[in-house]
Amino acid sequence: MLPFRVVYHEDYDLHLGAHVFPSQKFRLIRDALVSEGVAGARDFLVPESAENVDVLRVHSDAWVNKLLHDKLTMTERMRLEIPSSPETVRAFWLAAGGSILAGQRALEDGFAANLTGGFHHAYADHGEGFCMLHDVAIAIRRLQADGAIRTAIVVDTDVHQGNGTAAIFSGDASVFSLSIHQENNYPLPKELSDLDIGLEDRTGDDEYLVRLEKGLVASLEKFQADIAFYVGGADPFLEDQLGGLAVTIDGLKARDRLVFEHLRKRGIPIAMTLAGGYARRVEDTVRIHVNAIRVAAEIARGESRSAPA
Ligand SMILES: [Zn+2]
Q: Mean pLDDT throughout 245-254?
A: 98
Cα 228 to middle of ligand 1, angstroms = 19
The pTM score is: 0.96
CA of 286 to the centre of ligand 1 (A): 15
Answer whether 26's CB lies under 8 Å from 8's CB. Answer: yes
Kindly report, residue by residue over 172-195, the tens digit of the pLDDT.
Answer: 999 999 999 999 999 999 999 999
Ligand 1: distance of its center to the CA of 159 in Å?
A: 5
Which H or E element spans position 218?
helix 205-222
CA 68 to ligand 1 centroid distance, Å: 25
Ligand 1: centre distance to CA 40 (Å) = 29
- What is residue 19's predicted lDDT score, i.e. its pLDDT? 85
Q: How far is the CA of 308 from the centre of ligand 1 (A)?
A: 41
CA dist 278 → 70, 199, 238, 244 (Å) = 27, 19, 10, 11
* Cα–Cα dist 86/72, whole Å: 12
What's the CA-to-centroid distance between 307 and ligand 1, angstroms? 37
- What's the 278 CA to ligand 1 centre distance in angstroms? 8
